[in-house]
Structure 1
């Protein structure tokens, strides 16, 4: 299985940091906050960011179709900002708002996925033709992490977790995503600890496939999670 690593960093990092990342072989993707990192340079890239106390997230990109079952596939979407698209193009569009943690979409996108996202509720249409997601179910269980290398809790109680990028869904989480089409995740779990984190929407693989088949564009490829492995009795 070919694993591809990316690092997501703030878009406003200075040119000096960009030069250092490029110097270890990292390459910026179309989405300016994501950098593809060769396996041999991963530790160096992480070190550059940690030493300068720059917030980052390690993305563990496993190509869909390798180790995934169709019914359990689910992923985060790397959405373009609402400032990057023209909602009047009359093509399905899903975007990240410039403020807040919600999701924006036009009527074409909502109509496209409505049959496979029965539990999503969208707000009224704005002047620019976009509608904001008002409700999606919350996952019942935290997303499980394989390994954690840093933890930092902010003043609001939200944690920034540095981890190896491997994220796993419990059976209950998979069932919610399968029946609802998408659901919010707001917690990580590592070993016996649970960490509140910024909410992120996870989409069912079939919903993502439908979007891709109709030309919906993302800032970067979806980041797939995996089904939680069964633990062997010892």
Structure 2
């Protein structure tokens, strides 16, 4: 997958592109991520990329011309264009899976009070939000989108199935995790995890995931229960037990 990021602050993306999972995917040639500085397409002697909005109002708006120039430099007319915006649709599992199948995309990071609407309209940009709050710019949301989409691309994670197995992708929140030592400062791990009985361990994890999801994300649990599942006798017993518990 090739991702072009258009931003006023390309330096923010260097640590992300060179570190951890994304860094390894880039080094392996699975991902290509390039951050382009929008300011270099400004025709102002000071590389100005923003101006006051027509009609008045507070703040500044990114001008169309530098954005157009940046878009043309990455041949955006042949690619999926995304604009990170708090007024966009919330990024969710379905959208992440959809984007993971797109070979090339351009992510526009807004700043100030937004971007001249003509740039968004001309390049048919899809607006995407990561939540109902406002940040200082689109750079952090773009990183969230890139990271979440990259996890769905074959070869990026060590385990091809792990992206869909964990947390909300499986339909339930993830169960508690423990590692060595077995006892730390008087705190011991659940005995079942050292039993070697994998069936009982799986049932314990299932119960913990159900309980956590019921407590913290009842909306997820409701959606999970509306789906068809081939529960074993033991799993159904655990499910009935959890559902009877008071919230």
- Structure holding more helix per residue: 2
User: Do these two structures clear the TM 0.5 threshold for a shared fold by scoring above it?
Assistant: no
Scaled by the length of structure 2, the TM-score of the pair is 0.23
| Greater radius of gyration (CA) | 2
Scaled by the length of structure 1, the TM-score of the pair is 0.23
Q: Which has the higher contact order (CA 8 A, sep 6+)?
A: 1
